[in-house]
Amino acid sequence: MGCRTLFFALSCILFAYYISAPIPENVEETWKVGTTHALVKMLSFMATLFENIGLMKYEEVFSTLVKLDFTKPISDENITVTDTTFSGIPVRLYLPKRKSERQRPAVIYLHGGAFIIGSCKNSAYDLLNRETANKLDAVVVGVDFRLSPQYYFPAAIEDILSVVKFFLQDKIIERYRVDPMRICIAGDSSGGTLTAAVTQLLKNDPVFKNKIKAQALIYPALQAIDTLVPSHQENEHGPLLTRDVAIKLICLHLTSDEALPQAMRKNQHMPQESRHLFKFVNWSNFLPDKYKKNYIYMEPLLGKLNLSYPALLDSRLSPLLVNDSQLQKCPLTYILTCQYDILRDDGLMYVTRLQNVGVDVVHDHLEDGFHGALSFMSSPFYLQLGIRIKDKYISWLEENL
């Protein structure tokens, strides 16, 4: 009786979330997107409940389910797949089997998951990296960097830098027959954050500055300064990624202190000494007019927190904070943004700022797109939007690597 009651209650919650799902009319597969959104919302509700009663941490609920989607390193007729380590960091390596007279391009892929969950072993990323290796005849490296809150910022970026620098050694490049002039770093969501940050750091390193040809950012998060940009307000309730969940997860990347997410929701989280950084993320200067609409720019309120979080001023967390002279060094760049995504304006501002300093940028904007679709392109979801994003990304790689 108890199980039936629980099942009925959860079904009611799921149905309520489904019928209230904010699915725009131009989004394809409306019922499937609505169901996925409702499931994510219910999972967030249960995670909050479990945390409140002391059963399990919020992020552990998501992490446990995501781990059920891990894949084994299974090779096929075209690609050899192995799990190994680079500089002590776990990676999944995809090597084409067919013989090639020329050196191959390489892609280092950084998975999304808000720095909290996910792995290159998840089925969607395994599919993406396997197809990239096959279509481009490329060596692909998926990186399993450390996750928060077990390892706070900047652990993830330190791991990725170690992996990239290890891979860029002459002896490693030669071992895998990689063309040192055709290497790309890519990532989605928080993986896009890490891609932008690592690329900036490498371009400022005299040893590695000429070793990255391109970067690809799929609906990236690029700043944690202003949480009331137009896209945050328009897409506060999703689909899939809500503003509240995004803020909770990004804060878990930095601290367990509840004061930070509370302040960030009100856009009152920045310290007094941060005002000089606002010019780099002032959306009124960088967004195309069609995205500004009737919104009015207001600076975040300063000095409302008793504690200060230095990471909020760090460009490794917010790549938009670097100055123009540093941005000028960025390589060929691909950025994909989605209309119904709270992170949309981060990508749009980065496109504008990169173009303003002369960086070659290719920008795809999906008017019917939403955040996280790439992670739902494999079973049991098969969202067509995720497959379209995959195809656009791989097509750009084929043309530019």
111 is catalytic: no
CA distance 112 to 119: 8
Integer CA distances (angstroms), 341 to 29, 230, 234, 364, in order: 17, 10, 9, 14
3-state class of 115 per DSSP?
Answer: coil
Q: What angle do CA 169, 170, 176 make, to 5 degrees?
A: 95
205 is catalytic: no
Catalytic residue of the set 188, 315, 371, 378: 371
The DSSP string of 27-38 is -SSHHHHHHHHH
371 is catalytic: yes
Residue type, 365: H
Do strands 89-96 and 79-86 pair parallel, antiparallel, or not at all (unpaired)?
antiparallel
Q: Which of 189, 201, 267 is nearest to 233 (CA)?
A: 267
* Helices and strands, number each (H, E), in the chain: 15, 8
- Provide φ and ψ at 68, rounded to 5°: -65, -15
Catalytic residue of the set 44, 63, 119, 189: 189
- Strand-pair partners of 314: none
Is the Cβ–Cβ distance between 328 and 228 less than 8 Å?
no
Catalytic residue of the set 341, 345, 346, 364: 341
Catalytic residue annotation: 189, 341, 371
